[in-house]
Amino acid sequence: MANFTELDRYLFGQATHYDIYRKLGAHFAEVKGVKGVYFDLWAPNAERVFLIGSFNGWNETANEMTRLKPETMGIYELFIPGLKEGELYKYLIETKDGKRLYKADPYANYAELRPGTASAIADIEHFKWTDSKWMENRKKEEDVYAQPMAIYEVHPGSWKRHPGRDDEGFYSYRDLVTYLIPYVKEMGYTHIELMGISEYPFDGSWGYQVTGYYAPTSRYGKPEDFAYFINECHKNKIGVILDWVPAHFPKDAHGLAEFDGTCLYEYADPRMGEHPDWGTKIFDYGKNEVKNFLIGSALMWVEHYHIDGLRVDAVASMLYLDYGKEEGQWVRNKYGDNKNLEAIEFFKHINTLILGRNHGAVMIAEESTAWPKVTGPVEEDGLNFSYKWNMGWMHDFLDYMKLDPYFRKNNHHKMTFAMSYNASEHYILVLSHDEVVHLKCSMLNKMPGLGRDKFQNLMAGYAFMLGHPGKKLLFMGQEFAQLQEWSEERELDWYLLENPDHKHMQDWVKALLHLYQKNPCLYELDGNWDGFEWINADDADRSIYSFVRKSKDGKNNMLFVCNFTPVARPDYRVGVPKKKTYKLVLDSDAAEFGGEGIEKPVSYKAVKSECDGRAFSFAYPLSGYGIAVFKY
């Protein structure tokens, strides 16, 4: 009896086989009382397929696979008794024109450590999950948008490394349980976003050129070690987001490119199927089996590995047929324009499916253009993502922060513009790995001035980001003001924390994150004008911004005052919405953050004195680059 049944073939052909990862690939089974492994492969245009591996001495003709009926489906199958976990294997595909291709298993759950390229047999079904409380609570979430989300973006291979080891010294998934989880908890992040988990051959791609869409990378351990890491994150009330790359794949010989001698996974027309800039292949989103391959991968991460969200990389490159291409390098759609209609339908399908089946999980788009309704519902022709990275805010914010404070008054609008479109999508404000590589400088070295000025600038920027509507993402190292640009080849410069300025920065970010988690006004109404109000958005001459964040019940409100010049304003007066007492809850000038530590009153009573167009106001001594946050 075949492992891959008639029903499996039907569902796969319709792109609706949602647990395809349990059928294609290598899976333990028992046939007529004999234990072994079933191998199933989709290769419709192959002439013959052989299974080669460590178990047969890589003998190229010892184990020919059988093509199941109907032959047109192109499923090859073989059962081999007595195999154990960890055995390495590949498929030898003979093409119709006589070529011999040595391919890794597209559906493998584990792979040989690079530079090896073989797949490895793994049993991913036996891990005992103990995160049921987290998963139940996630399901009950009435409104994901009303929850706090402060994401720590992590590249596991370069967060920390073991010194003096013969290998690269990578922290394993289990090491990350010991060291990363406590750090994230202590700092006050709510989520970890992991870069480069789906198996990939080249370290320098950071995991964005994937060959193993169903396998956590072997760089840091086995699949069950990865599952253990997720399980422990959940037990510590930390959500986990994975980068996921359905936009393109590399041309490595063992990978998906021209898999069975034809363009099986990619569009056949190179104008559709290749990225000239990236040297990669583009998935054929019109082919059901390819769509099912991608949908099955996403569902495996979310449903099998309990991942709380997928951050979908390079969405714009999928939506636009002419992305990164010159005239003549792309093909118009049937309406004569540049939209990839098949990719649009793919997003609507997969987002609706994943969010519908996994209440409380999120799908996040890294979409860098003004494409409308990325997070809008399908009924309104939206793509139905949960969130979109706010790249517009990020570019404006960095443009402003890089300026000498003297010139900021002429660019005041750069920090206010994002609020004009804030309600159009559900946004995440991001300062990601992309902003600290390729000669863009570290966050600290983007800042103007010298020495302490740089730190004060960055502290002010982080506070503004925290107060601004939108969920938050900071890349690792930014929380303590890493000096060097990030490189995947070395760990972060943790020794910098011996320097008081860097330690103060870390303490400042920690204080901001804990303030964020404890105060619903900072996250409940992110995409809604009910949760935000400018006090003064037009104080360009002094480069000071003041605004209020409000909670749903009106009982938890905060006033932010941010000074983006080194000029102190000892007589600063701020207008306020109500005649209340305003309690100072965060002051960048405090000694614990490296400030002057001058004692200030904690409470400030608003008086009837017109300021900023308000009837009531109070005075506060605002230091140079001063940040003051008040609760009322």
Distance CA(135)–CA(305), nearest Å, equals 11
Domain boundaries along the sequence of the chain: 6-120, 529-631
Nearest Cα residue to 283 out of 350, 370, 374:
350
Label the pairing between strands 34-42 and 25-31.
antiparallel
The answer to whether the CB of 473 falls within 8 A of the CB of 431 is yes
DSSP string, 425-486: S-EEEEE-GGGGSTTS--HHHHS-SSTHHHHHHHHHHHHHHHHSSSEEEEETTGGGT-SSPP
> For residue 182, what pLDDT is reported?
98
> For residue 538, what pLDDT is reported?
97
The answer to whether the CB of 409 falls within 8 A of the CB of 540 is yes
pLDDT confidence of 408, banded at 50, 70, 90?
very high
pLDDT > 90? residue 1: no
Distance CA(166)–CA(534), nearest Å, equals 56
Percentage of residues in the chain with pLDDT exceeding 70? 100
- pLDDT averaged over every residue in the chain: 96
Class of 529-631 per CATH?
mainly beta
Query: Which one is the CATH code of 6-120: 3.40.50.720, 3.50.50.60, 2.60.40.10, 1.10.340.30?
Result: 2.60.40.10
Beta-strand runs (E) in 116-216:
119-120, 150-154, 191-194, 198-199, 212-216
The answer to whether the CB of 231 falls within 8 A of the CB of 306 is yes
Q: Using the CB atoms, write b or e for 452-462: b if 16+ within 10 Å.
A: eebbbbbbbbb
Distance CA(503)–CA(205), nearest Å, equals 31
CB atoms closer than 10 angstroms to residue 301 = 25
Q: What is the rounded average pLDDT of the residues 548-576?
A: 96
Q: What is the pLDDT of residues 96-117, one digit of tens each?
A: 999 999 999 999 999 999 999 9
pTM value surpassing 0.85: yes
Nearest Cα residue to 323 out of 287, 363, 293, 367:
367
Beta-strand runs (E) in 246-389:
274-275, 280-281, 309-312, 362-365, 387-389
Alpha-helix residue ranges (DSSP H) falling in 358-383: none
The answer to whether the CB of 472 falls within 8 A of the CB of 442 is no
Q: What is the pLDDT of residues 7-24, one digit of tens each?
A: 999 999 999 999 999 999
pLDDT confidence of 2, banded at 50, 70, 90?
confident
| 366 tagged catalytic | yes
The answer to whether the CB of 391 falls within 8 A of the CB of 336 is no
Distance CA(402)–CA(409), nearest Å, equals 13
Distance CA(288)–CA(44), nearest Å, equals 13
> For residue 313, what pLDDT is reported?
97
Distance CA(473)–CA(310), nearest Å, equals 14
Residue 143 CA from chain centroid, whole number: 20
> For residue 441, what pLDDT is reported?
94
Catalytic residue among 40, 87, 274, 313: 313
> For residue 105, what pLDDT is reported?
98
Helix H or strand E encompassing 288: helix 288-299
Q: What is the pLDDT of residues 174-199, one digit of tens each?
A: 999 999 999 999 999 999 999 999 99
Three-class SS of 166-186: CCCCECCHHHHHHHHHHHHHH
Calculate the alpha carbon distances from 525 to 189, 499, 535, 549 in Å: 19, 38, 18, 9
Q: What are the phi and psi torsion angles at 455 (to 5°)?
A: -65, -40
Q: 6-120 with 529-631: one CATH topology?
A: yes
Q: Tokens 């391919």 appear where?
A: 103
| 313 tagged catalytic | yes
Catalytic residue among 175, 366, 396, 425: 366
> For residue 25, what pLDDT is reported?
98
pLDDT > 90? residue 165: no
CB atoms closer than 10 angstroms to residue 276 = 13
Percentage of residues in the chain with pLDDT exceeding 90? 96
Residue 272 CA from chain centroid, whole number: 26
In the chain, helix, strand, coil percent, each to 5? 30, 25, 45
The answer to whether the CB of 274 falls within 8 A of the CB of 329 is no
The packing angle between helices 391-401 and 452-467, to 10°, is 150
Look up residue 183 and give its amino acid. Answer: Y
Q: What is the rounded average pLDDT of the residues 234-253?
A: 98
Residue 236, C-beta contacts closer than 8 angstroms, at least 6 positions apart: 181, 185
